[in-house]
């Protein structure tokens, strides 16, 4: 992935446009630093490093990241792995994440991954759900799949199966669009073709409809 760096004395900010989902949390949270009408659009010297870091933590896709140069720690690894389902939108992952893309493993704390099946940058979300007609409220599925008080921390491997689901291997919790914890466990298969009747879980519809996810490798 190609990252551009914006630097100040106390903090370096990096940005990867290709995985940005344009949530605008940075623009609203710290407009004196993040302003798409300015050049450069990111000016971390316009605020304290603490303020910049705090806003970057709200970036759901991981497109924005930072490195502290003032002796303060970089972004901590969350002690819980969560997958939040967005109504008519992507999966938002947070945690100690290991995303397998091509022959690389990307270590991230925040990710927005496609669940509509239409992204041109799979496995990442590129906002194709907004124009593809994808609809899914993402509300609580059958809570019989909930696994009680299982642990939710530690490394989480995220493996996009070729032309198939996202395989999750590690402790995690799935949170529905209506903010309900609906599943805790160590392994699951999440739909990413957009057509499962058991969303967010895979029901093998991808095989029937001929779902194809080509070229899943970072540039």
Q: What is 101-134 written as a DSSP string?
A: ETTEEEEEEEEEE--SS--TTTTB--SGGGTS--
0.85 exceeded by pTM: yes
- Confidence at residue 151, expressed as pLDDT on a 0 to 100 scale: 78
Distance CA 191, CA 164 (A): 8
Mean per-residue pLDDT of the chain: 93
User: What would the DSSP string read from start to end of 15-38?
Assistant: E-GGG-----HHHHH-TTTB-TTS
Confidence class for position 52, pLDDT limits 50, 70, 90:
very high
Report the pLDDT averaged over residues 126-150. 80
Asked whether the predicted pLDDT for residue 10 surpasses 90, the reply is: yes
Residue 144 has pLDDT above 50, yes or no: no
Is there a contact between 64 and 112 (Cβ–Cβ < 8 Å)? no
With contact defined as beta carbons under 8 Å apart, do 160 and 212 qualify? Answer: no
| pLDDT score of 191 | 97
Residue 2: pLDDT band (50, 70, 90) is confident
Q: Quote the pLDDT of residue 102.
A: 87
């Amino acid at each position: 992935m190609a990252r551009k760096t914006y630097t100040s004395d106390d903090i370096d900010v990096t940005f990867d446009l290709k995985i940005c989902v344009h949530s605008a949390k940075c623009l609203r949270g710290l407009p004196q630093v993040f302003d798409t009408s300015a050049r450069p659009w990111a000016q971390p010297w316009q605020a304290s490093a603490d303020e910049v870091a705090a806003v970057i933590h709200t970036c759901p896709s991981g497109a924005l990241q930072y490195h502290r140069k003032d002796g303060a720690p970089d972004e901590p690894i969350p002690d819980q792995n969560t997958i939040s389902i967005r109504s008519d939108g992507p999966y938002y992952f947070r945690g100690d994440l290991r995303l397998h893309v091509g022959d690389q493993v990307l270590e991230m704390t925040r990710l927005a991954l496609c669940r509509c099946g239409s992204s041109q940058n799979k496995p990442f979300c590129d906002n194709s759900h907004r124009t593809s007609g994808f609809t899914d409220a993402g509300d609580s599925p059958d809570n019989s799949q909930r696994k009680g008080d299982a642990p939710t921390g530690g490394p989480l491997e995220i493996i996009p199966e070729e032309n198939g689901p996202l395989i999750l291997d590690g402790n995690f919790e799935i949170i529905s669009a209506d903010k309900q914890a609906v599943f805790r466990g160590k392994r699951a298969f999440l739909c990413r073709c957009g057509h499962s009747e058991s969303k967010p879980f895979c029901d093998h519809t991808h095989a029937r409809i001929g779902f194809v996810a080509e070229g899943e490798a970072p540039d």
